[in-house]
Amino acid sequence: MFHPKYTITNSILNNLLKVVDVKSLVLRVPILPKQEARLRRQAMIRMIHSSTSIEGNILNRYEVEKVLANEKVDAPKRDIFEVKNYRDALYYVSKFAGEKKKITVKTVLEIHRLATKNTLDKDKCGKFRKNKVFVVSRRGNKVIKIKYTGPEAKITPKLADRFI
């Protein structure tokens, strides 16, 4: 089990108290349904843009918003699919959480299937990988440095089960 070593300083404690105060204020202030819907949409757009850009998606936030509004965007199909897939996966997670179901490996694989539809071969969507995986630094198409090597493919089902 991981046991991080840290010290709660006066500065950290003051910041935590500020967070508690702001949270209390936010919970007391009513938000009109129209405003809430707009805020949720903006948060979803930012989340989708940030997460897909980490994976190399070239769409900017404005283009992500256009894709989600079913407007035409001049971009690679894969990038467009990634944005739509991420939205679909978020809806699935939201619905799943609302039903208060127990998370299983099958649940995680369904999220993976939704997130990778039309971006991976069908036989890889919603399945555990069968090959090695790396996180790398690139300059163009050239790998400069391997930053992380994932665990062996054969142990990922056991790791996922243990994680859940």
pTM: 0.74
The pLDDT tens digits for 114-148 are: 999 999 999 999 999 999 998 888 777 788 888 89
Range of the domain at 35: 31-127
In this structure, are 44 and 123 located in the same domain? yes
Q: Which residues pair with 148 in a beta bridge?
A: 135
In this structure, are 48 and 106 located in the same domain? yes
- How many domains does the chain fold into? 2
- pLDDT at residue 16 greater than cutoff 80: yes
In this structure, are 44 and 108 located in the same domain? yes
DSSP of 94-136: HHHHHTTPPP-HHHHHHHHHHHHTTTS-GGGTTS---S--EEE
pLDDT grade, residue 31 (50/70/90)? confident
